[in-house]
Structure 1
């Protein structure tokens, strides 16, 4: 790979981060606009959920395939195609006049977002082959994922209030076009292994359909329940498809997911840690937004603003500290510290009283989550990608993103169902509606604390302890690896 100058690398990183932020924002920006969309387009209550679900099903289902296509066709080519599709689909969403058109366009958005996101980490690994530079670049990139959902909730409320719900989609069009032009100029072409190296078509079909059905089963829990025939049938079908996929990978000449990848201890452990942590943190965003309005009595705008400290803290930590700390002490101690802080944050919320106040009962936890998120995602991503062979960087990137999406969807479904069940039980015992809601959210936050504690135990027990760690590069000098015992 030809050596690239620092300015050109920074431009390429900016392009990748902007695309990632645009895609992540769209996962949460619609949440605040759903009532307006339902009113204007005539969605039924059940159909409205598919404005969100169509995006999640396509995004979560296609990440693994998109990552592998990046390895075969070239990651830049797949990235450009993904951004172009996402931008076009955003325009279709904005001009949609019927529920069917909007849901279809949201599915296309998810497909484009998956293609752009799945290869991004692999492109960063190629841009920054030196460990210290890669650690800092991943910290910057991870900020977009860690802060994107909070920013999306705030942006969705502001844009919908000022210009109507189509604005949340229209804003993607100029951003997407700018990303395409900048990528053509600032991201160097790369040569993939070529389709002759083998695209396992049956494996791709099994993996994509299996992941889509998995996400479909999860997102339908809120409407149909865990024990419904629909949920059980979808879960059974997903299990059969994914089991067939694993079997296919054992016999395929050129597997989509070479099983050697799953024999890399740090890659597997990092994905398990990420799955558990994201399951808790993604659910936190939505449950706290509801608790702020239904328990503390904030309006939608105030609830959105209440999240503002989180992305600010994430920005300060992930952009200013996480990379330096990981370069100096190793990614593992940074990850462990972040997970420990997240446990503290959830325990603070697990005592949220029905008559609580934002400054006393919520703000400390919001700040803790900002610091924790700024440490966790850069560190766990660094560890996952460091465990992958360079030839499998696109696949590993797709696996990391798939773990995030499935973990987030499952975590939200589990925590939301738990909160609802506990709320119903307390209400039936004769408590007020506010007391019952507060009890439900407290139970969900306590379980979220347990999920992060489990992630912490996996990180302590399974992630590598004797990995060479790069010290920070000093003004013009290359970083030198130093062996530490707790990296």
Structure 2
């Protein structure tokens, strides 16, 4: 292998991290900020109860379905270009959503946000992966990124509550514009993409079509399962279609010369384990956000702003777990020694929440559970985010990053549908078996007890899912600590040689 000159780190990389983090925060915020504003938007635009879910689903379908495509575009076109284009497009889509005058305009804006988010999110993570290659710096950078990825959803609830309560629901869209503007300026001035890391080959069109249709079918199937039931014909048909399309996608990727998703990215044992464990953990987390939001606002009577602030201990725990535990230990111990205890600690927090009742106190139950959840998820997310792109060839960094986001997006869709369905079924069964108590308790109290029983039952499932994530981590992830020296990858098939992301230390 011919020698390649050592590329010195860009002195502006820490400033670049700040702007990459702003962009990532904007994308993560948008997953929850609109949820708080949805009742107001529905009333203002006359959206029916049957169609209101599409404000969330349109975004999820476009985002989840196009992520692999967006990641590969970043590899081919250039990560900085994809990052900037994603930011501008997301801001334009947000502006359209803010001025929406009817249901169709709002839904179109949400789908457009999802499409540009699918370009922006993998570009942001892959820029981080190719910018920070020295072990200690990488740990710090991914600590910041992991804290944002984990805690951004809760921050979205707070910001959404403030904007909806004190301004107008439209500001949950407008707020993205200044975020995007600052990030675009920062990208232009300080973000630099290391030379030679692009994939110069053409785009795998059959792979794009199969992956997009397969992921859209899968996400939509879980959405339909929540609304129509798991045994409905449409639900089963969508699951079957998703399976057929995704199997065909894998077959195509194993044959084509320049695949959309090189199987080498996911066949690595540790990296594949990360994608699977992370997706399962997100299932548990998204369900929890949903139940805690309803518990605090409907059962406990919190305002949107109060409910948002009630999530702050979890956010603080995630920041501490990510930056002070994960980042400090990532270069010293193997990822599974951080991820497995992290998921178990989060499961312990979930276990506390299974004891929730209508008269439970916030300080006595919700607060300690959130602290444990935050610390556990922050500790686990940070090495997971880094390991998912660690050791990947620079030309594959975008699609490897897209796989992280895909596991999160699909996990979120599954978590919302699966756990909400479990909660609804448990609540119905409890209400039926305790119908005689309804006159004594009163209508509101009986409804609250019914709902809380459903939440607690579903959270038990979330505990089990986190334990399963732990088992997957222990079983599949065998990579050593991420403290290896940077390596250089040789070019293949006539491609330009480029500095690689460091190989895993064993």
**TM-score, normalised to structure 2's length?**
0.90
Q: Which residue of 2 aligns with 1:285?
A: 289
Change (3 A) 1:262 1:317: closer
1:115 to partner: Cα distance = 0.7
- 2:89 corresponds to: 85
The aligned residue for residue 70 of structure 2 is 66
Equivalent residue for 2:358, pick from 346, 354, 365: 354
Q: 2: distance between equivalents of 1:180 and 1:131?
A: 28
Superposed displacement of residue 448, structure 1? 0.3
Deviations 1:294-313 (A, max 9, x none): 33343433222211111122
Matched, 1:372 2:376: yes
Could you tell me how far apart the structure 2 residues matched to 1:160 and 1:224 are? Answer: 30
Deviation track 1:162-201 (CA, whole Å, cap 9, x = no partner) reads: 1101111111112211111110111114557767512101
User: Would you say the 8 A contact 1:32–1:156 is kept in 2?
Assistant: yes
How many angstroms apart in 2 are the aligned matches of 1:441 and 1:281? Answer: 13
Q: 2:332 is matched with which residue?
A: 328
Deviations 1:142-175 (A, max 9, x none): 1111011100011101001111011111111122
Alignment of 1:37-436 (within 5 A): 37-189=41-193, 197-430=201-434, 432-436=446-450
Q: Is the 8 A contact 2:165 2:304 kept in 1?
A: no
Change (3 A) 1:231 1:12: same
Distance of 1:66 and 1:321 partners within structure 2 = 32
Determine the structure 1 residue equivalent to 2:443: none
Q: Deviations over 1:403-423 (max 9, x none)?
A: 111011101211110000000
Q: 2:477 aligned with 1:463, yes or no?
A: yes
Is residue 2:457 matched to residue 1:452?
A: no
8 A contact 1:58–1:110 mirrored in 2: yes
Structure 1 unaligned residues grouped into runs of 5+: 472-480
Q: Distance in 2 between matches of 1:441 and 1:404?
A: 22
Q: Kindly tell me: are residues 18 and 326 of structure 1, through their superposed partners in 2, closer, same or farther at Cα, counting changes over 3 Å?
A: same
Closer/same/farther in 2, CA of residues 369 and 467 from structure 1, 3 Å limit: closer
1:3 aligns to 2:8 (yes or no):
yes
- The 2-side partners of 1:468 and 1:77 are apart by 29
Say what the alpha-carbon RMSD is for the aligned residues. 2.1
Q: For residues 21-64 of structure 1, what are the alpha-carbon distances to aligned partners after superposition, in whole Å with 9 as ceiling and x for unaligned?
A: 00110110011111110111110111111111111111111111
The 8 Å contact of residues 296 and 356 in structure 1, kept in 2 or not, is answered as no
Q: Determine helix, strand or coil for the equivalent of 2:330.
A: helix
CA–CA distance in 2 between the matches of 1:440 and 1:365?
18
CA contact (8 A) 1:61 1:209 kept: yes
More displaced stretch, 342-351 vs 379-388 = 379-388
Distance change (3 Å), C-alpha of 1:13 and 1:227: same
CA contact (8 A) 1:339 1:372 kept: yes
Could you tell me whether the CA contact under 8 Å between 2:330 and 2:481 is conserved in 1? no
Distance 1:360 1:132 in 2: 38
Report how far residue 225 of structure 1 moved.
1.5
Go from structure 1 to structure 2 and tell me whether the alpha carbon gap of 1:424 and 1:77 turns closer, same or farther (over 3 Å shift): same
Partner of 1:474 in structure 2? none
SS in 2 for 1:187: coil
Report the TM-score when normalising by structure 1: 0.93
**Which sections of structure 2, spanning at least 5 residues, go unmatched?**
1-5, 438-445, 486-501
